[in-house]
């Protein structure tokens, strides 16, 4: 339990920040999941459109330190590679 005024305020801020980060992370995961679903269905053009939204979400997540910048880069790279694979197969 926080004892000082500043510790009490910091605890309040942490609760608010965590709630915001959880929402951002959930939105980010949903965007990535949508791209993966479209890739699995073989819908290349729709997946490319969804990829734009996912890239934006990943970049924002990395900028706001919700996820690590390397994780963002890794996910973007893997999704782009998967979309390219659809092009060559189809």
pLDDT at residue 37 tops 80: yes
Q: What is the pLDDT of residue 89?
A: 66
Q: What is the pLDDT of residue 67?
A: 96
pLDDT digits (tens, 9 = 90+) for 48-90: 999 999 999 999 999 999 999 999 999 999 999 999 998 776 5
Residue 17: give its domain's CATH number: 1.20.58.110
Query: What is the count of structural domains for the chain?
Result: 1
Q: What is the pLDDT of residue 90?
A: 57
How distant, in Å, are the alpha carbons of 1, 14, 15, 55 from that of 22?
Answer: 23, 12, 11, 18
Distance of CA 51 to the CA centre of its chain: 11
Q: For residues 42 and 33, give the distance between their C-alpha atoms in angstroms, rounded to a whole number.
A: 14
> What is the mean predicted confidence (pLDDT) over 12-26?
96
Q: For residues 50 and 38, give the distance between their C-alpha atoms in angstroms, rounded to a whole number.
A: 8
Q: Which domain holds residue 9?
A: 5-89
């Amino acid at each position: 339990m926080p004892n000082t005024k500043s510790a009490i305020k910091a605890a309040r801020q942490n609760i608010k920040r965590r709630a915001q980060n959880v929402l951002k992370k959930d939105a980010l995961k949903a965007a990535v999941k949508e791209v993966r679903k479209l890739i699995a269905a073989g819908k290349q053009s729709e997946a490319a459109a969804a990829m734009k939204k996912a890239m934006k979400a990943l970049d924002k997540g990395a900028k706001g330190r919700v996820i690590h910048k390397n994780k963002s880069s890794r996910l973007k790279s893997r999704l782009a590679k998967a979309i390219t694979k659809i092009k060559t197969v189809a």
